[in-house]
Amino acid sequence: MKITVIGSGYVGLVTGACLADTGNHVLCIDLDAGKIDRLRRGEIPIHEPGLDTVVARGLAAGRLRFSTDYAEAVAHAAVAFIAVGTPSDEDGSADLSHVLSAARELGRRMERDTLVIVKSTVPVGTSDKVRAAVQEQLQARGVPHKVSVASNPEFLKEGLAVEDFMRPDRIVVGTDPDDHRAKDIFREMYAPFNRNHERIFFMDVRSAEFTKYASNCMLAVRISFMNELANLADRLKVDIEQVRRGVGADPRIGPHFLYAGAGFGGSCFPKDLRALIHTSEESGEPAELMRAAQNVNLRQRRLLGQKIVAHFGGKLDGRTIALWGLAFKANTDDVREASSIDIIDALLQAGARVRAYDPAALETAATALKGRAGVSLVRSAAEALEGADALAVVTEWLEFRSPDFDDLARRLKSRVLFDGRNLYDPFAVRRAGLVYQGIGRSGVGE
């Protein structure tokens, strides 16, 4: 099948590369000429395990191509994904300008009946706007081509994007109920990922659009709920990690996504929560639970910083704090809405110097932290510890999982370890002579 993907960011690039890997001829386009140049050379602009191999394979086979040219994109295929960004507007709503401009560009050039697939995360009703935008252009040109619009939200996780795309737990497809041609195209395109049991859920377009927000907001609420319980556990001298195991053993709840920590960040949860809260308000009833989840998270992202400041009696002048982990989670270089930024701000405000290390996010963090004096970004976990009073671990990278606690105790002047992701056994940390502070773990062994 020939497929065009508009937008070569996270979602578009993974979608295009993986669909080329299963035998399709894919043309990915983007307005950013620099990015397209790099992609043509097989250079991947994001840190995403396995993506380089899939892109290289597609390029070598001639099945994956990159361009900045809409005319080429439209000529290439009668199936076009829109996978451009939908950032938050000032009021929290999703900014649809990129999506609608892509739709207009398609309509301006379409020379045959085309299936437009909206992959970007968009509010309910956006597909109708996309259809209208394309049709307006077709009418202006006086051409009779038919446009069919489908919603096919993407559920991939950063750091596991290729794996998630290749082995999806679900493929949500929203089409007009009688659009059999569109359904056939989806069945054919996703056949390689849909082998042993049916993973495609056909539904109407609006329900598909909503499913994406419902999934992300459900997960976000779940994390905030665990964080609220963890903070209560701290006050009650309960260990949230033991509670997590007990609670997660109930099959109705399940063990995943129950980890208390320094709060959620990234490009999806905070943005999607904002957008659905905005939609709720617009629809006439405020979203109380989601707003609470959002507030709990904003508080949680600051919590570790506050714990550190409180430990040192409110003042950090002359102190140096080592920070391991800047990315919003492991296996990505993404620092968008990362807790590390809030923590660094709290530490700097209290007068500390910060030495921060991340295995992948040093460059992105350098941009995000520009203008903040007092932060040094260093090249290794050990280097971050030089001259430090305390260590704060903010991201659950594998390389931070089992440090030598005796060595840490020797290096950290004030001998204290703040575990923002509950990675360590408090007993093992304390045996080495360190003070341990986690999230919701004050009850352990005290």
**Active-site residue 268, yes or no?**
yes
92 conformational bin, left if phi > 0, alpha if psi -120 to 50, beta if neither: left
- Stretch binding ligand UDX (CB under 6 A), from 138-146, 252-260, 285-293, 382-390: 252-260
User: Closest separation between CB of residue 300 and ligand UDX, Å?
Assistant: 8
Phi-psi region of 358 (alpha: psi -120 to 50; beta: other; left: phi over 0): beta
To the question of whether residue 119 is assigned a binding role by annotation, the answer is: no
> Is 261 marked within a binding site?
yes
- Residue selected from 257, 372, 402, 404 as contacting ligand UDX according to rule CB under 6 A: 257
Using CB under 6 A, pick the residue from 261, 403, 420, 426 that binds ligand UDX.
261
DSSP letter at 202? E
> Which CB atom, from 107 or from 261, has the smaller least distance to ligand UDX?
261
- Name the active-site residue from 18, 28, 217, 268: 268
Minimum distance of ligand UDX from residue 164's CB (angstroms): 7
According to the annotation, is 129 in a ligand binding site?
no
Sign of CA dihedral 149, 152, 158, 164: negative
Q: Is 329 marked within a binding site?
A: yes
Query: Per-residue contact track with ligand UDX, 158 to 177, x per CB under 6 A?
Result: x-------------------
Q: 93 in helix, strand or coil?
A: coil
Report whether 193 belongs to an annotated binding site. Answer: no
Task: Indicate which single residue of 74, 83, 182, 268 sits in contact with ligand UDX (rule: CB under 6 A).
Answer: 268
Sequence-separated (6 or more) residues with CB below 8 Å from residue 122: 86, 94, 96, 99, 151, 209
Structure tokens at 322: 């080592």
Dist CA 115 CA 130 (whole Å)? 12
Binds ligand UDX by CB under 6 A, chosen from 66, 328, 405, 424: 328
Nearest-approach distance from CB 396 to ligand UDX, in angstroms: 7
Give the C-alpha separation, 118 to 205, whole Å: 10
165 assigned ligand-binding residue: no
Size of residue set near ligand UDX by CB under 6 A: 19
269 binds ligand UDX (CB under 6 A): yes
Whole-angstrom distance, CA of residue 395 vs CA of residue 377: 15
Say whether 35 counts as a known binding-site residue.
Answer: yes
Alpha helices in 116-167 (DSSP H): 126-141, 161-166
In the region spanning residues 141 to 160, those forming contacts with ligand UDX, defined by CB under 6 A, are: 154-158
* Sheet architecture: strand order including 200-203: 64-67, 25-29, 2-6, 79-82, 114-118, 147-151, 171-174, 200-203
Per CB under 6 A, contacts with ligand UDX among 375-394 are none
Which of 265, 426, 440, 443 contacts ligand UDX by CB under 6 A? Answer: 265
Per-residue string for binding with ligand UDX, 205-224, x by CB under 6 A? -----------x--x---x-
Coil vs helix vs strand at 320: strand
What b/e sequence results for 117-156 when a residue is b if at least 16 CB atoms lie within 10 Å of its CB, and e otherwise? Answer: bbbbbbbbebbebbbebbbebbeeeeeeeebbbbbbbbbb
For the bound state, the minimum distance from the C-beta of residue 96 to ligand UDX, rounded and expressed in Å, comes to 18
* Residue 424 in tokens: 């360590």
Residues that bind ligand UDX (CB under 6 A): 154-158, 216, 219, 223, 257-259, 261, 264-266, 268-269, 328-329
Residues known to be catalytic? 268
